[in-house]
């Protein structure tokens, strides 16, 4: 593990009008590591990744890539610096072919000037090969992505990010819409990305999906960080308790116990 984290977020703060979406969040992720960002709905996970992927700019704090401060003007500029974000449902276009999706926005061209053309034959081969590498055998890379399963679509989006040289892979709830089997397919591929030396930021509210693949866990709750923990330091149950609801559940348990205690006194 190198000394300089591949990506670092330092005391980042974001306001939406009068709402404090994120307050003083810090987080680091090294190459070849899966960093899980956990939290319940509304905890600020999406806000954080929107800043990392260049969609929003932070109101305070900074983002460091390879130890160097970066400011992203657009998703494209984050992409060009090697930060690829795969969104839950917004990664692929169902009506387009696998090849067209794979190269969407970064089509290889042949020819010159106005006669430049999208090199479909070469693209088909690459797309088919890359899909096979992740264990999805597509006979026809010209078939619509809509014919793939949800897990396969997520894998395609991840494979695409890796193929185009992403150094940091941000996965926004990649498994939350998937069934158990499909989620396992995606999780296995997350491990593969990690093995290839990518820094993976895995956003989830599902501890059962995040815990097995994660190396470290940053837990967000109502816009604030509950801290970052190594896997060795924390159990699955503790993670769950720390996410929003955990404390509330404790409180609820205590109240119920208290009520029962009261009855005993009577």
Partner 1 sequence: MAERDLPVARDADERVREVRLLVKILSRPELGALAGTILIFLFFGIVAGDSGMFSMKGIMIFLEVSAQLGILAVFVSLLMIAGEFDLSVGSMIGFAGVAIAIPMQQFGWPLWAAITLAFGLAVVVGYINGLIVVRTKLPSFIVTLAALFILRGLTLGITRLMTGRTQVSGLRPLFEDDWLAPLFAGDVFQSLFLWLASVDAIRTRTDGLPLAPGVPVSVIWWLVLSALATWLLLRTKFGNWIFATGGDVLAARNAGVPVERVKILLFIGTACGATLFAAIQVLDAGSADTQRGLLKEFEAIIAVVVGGTLLTGGYGSAVGAALGALIFGTVQMGIFFTGVNTDWFKVFVGTMVLVAVLFNNFIRRRMTEAR
Overall residue count recorded for the chain in this entry: 266
Question: Among residues 27, 36, 65, 91, which is the contact residue for partner 1, using CB under 8 A?
Answer: 91
How many CB atoms are located within 10 Å of the residue 176 CB? 14
Does the protein bind partner 1 through residue 129 (CB under 8 A)?
Answer: no
Q: Which among 167, 157, 149 is positioned nearest to 127, based on CA atoms?
A: 157
Six token digits for residue 76? 């494209």
- Convert residues 139-178 into a mask of x (bound to partner 1 by CB under 8 A) and - (unbound): xx--xx-xxxx----------x------------------
Closer to partner 1 at the Cβ: 100 or 205? 100
Helix (H) or strand (E) holding 161: helix 150-163
Q: DSSP secondary-structure letter at 144?
A: B
Does the protein bind partner 1 through residue 107 (CB under 8 A)?
Answer: yes
d(CA 156, CA 134): 9
Q: Which among 135, 169, 168, 129 is positioned nearest to 149, based on CA atoms?
A: 135
Task: Name the one residue in this structure whose structure tokens are 């158990």.
Answer: 180
Does the protein bind partner 1 through residue 133 (CB under 8 A)?
Answer: no
Could you tell me the maximum CA-CA distance found in the chain, to the nearest angstrom?
A: 89
Question: Among residues 7, 83, 136, 158, which is the contact residue for partner 1, using CB under 8 A?
Answer: 136
Does the protein bind partner 1 through residue 234 (CB under 8 A)?
Answer: no
Does the protein bind partner 1 through residue 184 (CB under 8 A)?
Answer: no
Does the protein bind partner 1 through residue 122 (CB under 8 A)?
Answer: no
d(CA 210, CA 46): 16
Six token digits for residue 117? 């053309």
* Residue span binding partner 1 (CB under 8 A) among the ranges 3-11, 61-69, 109-117, 232-240: 109-117
Question: Among residues 11, 116, 235, 253, which is the contact residue for partner 1, using CB under 8 A?
Answer: 116
Closer to partner 1 at the Cβ: 136 or 207? 136
d(CA 124, CA 92): 16
Cβ of residue 42: shortest distance to partner 1, in angstroms? 21
How many CB atoms are located within 10 Å of the residue 88 CB? 18
Does the protein bind partner 1 through residue 109 (CB under 8 A)?
Answer: yes
Cβ of residue 80: shortest distance to partner 1, in angstroms? 8
Give the footprint of partner 1 on residues 16-75 (CB under 8 A).
75
Question: Among residues 14, 100, 209, 216, which is the contact residue for partner 1, using CB under 8 A?
Answer: 100
Coarse DSSP helix, strand, coil percentages of the chain, rounded to the nearest 5 percent: 40, 25, 35
Question: Among residues 9, 48, 79, 156, which is the contact residue for partner 1, using CB under 8 A?
Answer: 79
Residues at the contact surface with partner 1, assessed by CB under 8 A: 75-76, 79, 85, 87, 90-96, 100, 103-107, 109, 116-118, 120, 135-140, 143-144, 146-149, 160
């Amino acid at each position: 593990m190198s000394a300089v984290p591949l990506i670092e977020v330092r005391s980042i703060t974001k306001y939406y009008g009068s709402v404090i979406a994120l307050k003083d969040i810090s987080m680091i992720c090294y190459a070849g590591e899966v960093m899980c960002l956990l939290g319940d709905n509304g905890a600020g996970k999406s806000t954080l990744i929107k800043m990392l992927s260049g969609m929003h700019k932070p109101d305070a704090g900074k983002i460091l890539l390879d130890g160097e401060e970066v400011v992203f003007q657009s998703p494209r500029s984050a992409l060009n610096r090697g930060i690829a974000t795969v969104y839950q449902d917004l990664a692929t276009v169902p009506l387009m072919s696998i090849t067209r999706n794979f190269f969407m926005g970064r089509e290889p061209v042949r020819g010159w000037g106005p006669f430049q053309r999208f090199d479909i034959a070469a693209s088909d081969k690459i797309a088919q090969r890359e899909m096979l590498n992740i264990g999805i055998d597509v006979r026809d890379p010209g078939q619509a992505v809509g014919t793939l399963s949800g897990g396969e679509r997520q894998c395609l989006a991840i494979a695409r990010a890796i193929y185009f040289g992403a150094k940091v892979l941000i996965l926004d709830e990649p498994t939350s819409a998937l069934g158990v089997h499909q989620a396992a397919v995606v999780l296995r591929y997350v491990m593969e990305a990690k093995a290839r030396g990518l820094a993976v930021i895995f956003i989830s509210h599902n501890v059962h999906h995040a815990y097995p693949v994660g190396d470290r866990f940053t837990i967000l709750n109502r816009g604030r960080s509950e801290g970052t923990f190594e896997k060795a330091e924390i159990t699955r149950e503790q993670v769950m308790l720390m996410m929003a609801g955990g404390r509330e559940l404790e409180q609820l348990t205590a109240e119920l116990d208290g009520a029962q205690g009261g009855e005993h006194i009577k």
